Chains A and B, each alone.
Chain A
Amino acid sequence: MEGLLQQIVNGITLGSIYALMALGYTMVYGIIRLINFAHADIYMIGAYVGYYCMSFFGLGFLPSLIIAMFICTLLGIIIEKIAYRPLRNATRISVLITAIGVSLFLEYGTMFFVTANVRTYPEMTGLLARTIKMGNIVISMQQILLVSITIVLMILLQFIVKTTRIGKAMRAVSMDKDAAELMGINVDSTISFTFGLGSALAGAAGVLVGVYYNSINPLMGMVPGLKAFIAAVFGGIGIIPGAMIGGYFIGAVEVLVAGYGNSMYRDAVVFGILILVLIVKPSGLLGKNTREKV
């Protein structure tokens, strides 16, 4: 029982990371129907920015987090402008290949500058180094920090999307780009904003992962990126609460498979879930079925 509870705590921690990343995938897919493969690498760059802030400039956790989020926002907006915007009316396959190209560019570009070596985040000190014990369940302060920052960011995101002007514009563009344009919404800047918002969350996830798992490398985004995308599909792509639920679900499944089954197969199980979801309910948990008009 306690073992299970411990697994759940770990699952929630991992799930928070997936959820943060899944939000970016889901928002971008919702607005321009693109699987943004580069999203995973923005997360990686977020981790590196956090690393350099902490270890070279000796900044604290919070300033590092904010700087990483800021830089990732800029990066997301720039990528969209340079690589995706010229392809707004191109076929899906060419946009997807561009996204893969951007992803490879970020990975190997980063590798060129920081080498392929694994880096370790500086040791956390003070409050962040503490752990709480409840019976046999161990919860570290880092886990609490990670989960609470995730929740704060999600609430913030919900606030932006639901109540602000730009949030309304985002929802409008994702429903019908042309109609939104006719209603006087600046579609380009709305899409930019969406990329920025998603990238900020990915950057935050990167720093949190660095703090929690310590080691980072230029290819660290690939696998979590795919899983976060699967989380987004599971919850219903384009649906923000869906991405959160999906993230926590995938995190929990992965930790449970590793804990009670064969840890070598945990990735396979996640991909199996993806295929199952796609077959049973391609619109995802919270999605509505749509059909082509004949």
Chain B
Amino acid sequence: MSILKVNKITKSFGGLTAVSKASLELEKGELLGLIGPNGAGKTTLFNLLTGIYVPDSGAINLFREGEEVALHGLRPHNICKAGLARTFQNIRLFKDLTVLENVRIAMNKNIKYGFIPSFFHLPSYRWEEKQSIDDSIELLKIFNLDDKKDELAKNLPYGEQRHLEIARALATNPKLLLLDEPAAGMNPAETENLTKIIGEIREEFDLTILLIEHDMSLVMKICERIYVLDHGMVIANGTPEEIRSNKRVIEAYLGEDINDA
């Protein structure tokens, strides 16, 4: 059963077509990798899925509980509410807020009390606030960040900032989680730990995960299927083994190497 269908979306900036008629489909519960050389349009695709950019053409549909929700054209916060959460390639935490506050902001969509209770701190405020703190701490425990809940996000070490970003995304209670290079800048031990955590949260939260990653060994190890993007187009998709031996994929990567040299 598919959870997300992307049908021929295109996005260009000025003369440059960053994503060109890209289609992909995600099955519920799978861990899908998205790879491609630098500038292939991976992050742009993420930005299109999460509504930060609006596609020029094409459709993005999310299926949840048998219902079909069109995501293209929705504002990012509505896409998030529909069940799509993400992390950013260049960590975008709320730097000057505490670890706990970062997670609590992402939990806002559970808050039911209106403005009046917030002005006067009425009982509904007190009750829901306590609930949100408890839930946030529960979530932070998974990432071993609960004892650092009062530290400012910017003071965390790099690896923990990446963890906090995932925790924050999970706080929005997503069905589908998009991770943009979660292992970038991590050493092998940290990457190992991250792999473990991704596996754990996938089980625990019943998640479907789409992951952009440059670390090939990580992608080949944990992803069940992989899509390859080059020049904004999907040039291949299949299991890691299939991708490894795919000619067009090898060309795309070698081509980049030659240009770089």
Question: Given the complex of chains A and B, what is the CA–CA distance between A294 and B76 in angstroms?
Answer: 13
Question: Given the complex of chains A and B, what is the CA–CA distance between A294 and B50 in angstroms?
Answer: 12
B contact residues around A294 at 8 Å (CB): 43, 47, 52, 88
- B13 CB to nearest A CB, Å: 8
Closest A residue to B13 by CB, please name it: A291
Interface residues of B in 36-50 (CB under 8 A from A): 43, 47
B214-230 toward A: CB 8 Å interface, digit per residue (1/0)?
A: 00000000000000000
Question: Given the complex of chains A and B, what is the CA–CA distance between A267 and B86 in angstroms?
Answer: 47
Interface residues of A in 278-294 (CB under 8 A from B): 294
Number of A-B contacts (CB under 8 A): 4
- A36 CB to nearest B CB, Å: 29
Question: Given the complex of chains A and B, what is the CA–CA distance between A294 and B178 in angstroms?
Answer: 14
- A211 CB to nearest B CB, Å: 46
The size bracket of the interface on B is under 10
B46-86 toward A: CB 8 Å interface, digit per residue (1/0)?
A: 01000010000000000000000000000000000000000
Interface residues of A in 249-294 (CB under 8 A from B): 294
- A289 CB to nearest B CB, Å: 9
Closest B residue to A293 by CB, please name it: B90
Interface residues of A in 7-46 (CB under 8 A from B): none
B18-30 toward A: CB 8 Å interface, digit per residue (1/0)?
A: 0000000000000
- B153 CB to nearest A CB, Å: 18
Question: Given the complex of chains A and B, what is the CA–CA distance between A211 and B43 in angstroms?
Answer: 59
Closest B residue to A291 by CB, please name it: B13
Question: Given the complex of chains A and B, what is the CA–CA distance between A294 and B88 in angstroms?
Answer: 8
Question: Given the complex of chains A and B, what is the CA–CA distance between A294 and B47 in angstroms?
Answer: 8
- B60 CB to nearest A CB, Å: 17
- A194 CB to nearest B CB, Å: 28
Question: Given the complex of chains A and B, what is the CA–CA distance between A289 and B110 in angstroms?
Answer: 36
A contact residues around B47 at 8 Å (CB): 294
- A72 CB to nearest B CB, Å: 40
Question: Given the complex of chains A and B, what is the CA–CA distance between A294 and B11 in angstroms?
Answer: 15
Interface residues of B in 71-120 (CB under 8 A from A): 88
A contact residues around B88 at 8 Å (CB): 294
Question: Given the complex of chains A and B, what is the CA–CA distance between A283 and B52 in angstroms?
Answer: 20
Question: Given the complex of chains A and B, what is the CA–CA distance between A294 and B43 in angstroms?
Answer: 8
Closest A residue to B50 by CB, please name it: A294
Closest A residue to B180 by CB, please name it: A294
Question: Given the complex of chains A and B, what is the CA–CA distance between A172 and B43 in angstroms?
Answer: 29
Interface residues of B in 170-209 (CB under 8 A from A): none
A contact residues around B43 at 8 Å (CB): 294
Question: Given the complex of chains A and B, what is the CA–CA distance between A14 and B88 in angstroms?
Answer: 50
- A54 CB to nearest B CB, Å: 52
Question: Given the complex of chains A and B, what is the CA–CA distance between A294 and B90 in angstroms?
Answer: 8
- A42 CB to nearest B CB, Å: 37
Closest B residue to A292 by CB, please name it: B52
A sample of 4 cross-chain residue pairs with beta-carbon separation below 8 angstroms, ordered by A number, consists of A294-B43, A294-B47, A294-B52, A294-B88
| In the complex, the 4 A-B pairs of residues with the closest C-beta atoms, listed nearest first | A294-B52, A294-B47, A294-B88, A294-B43
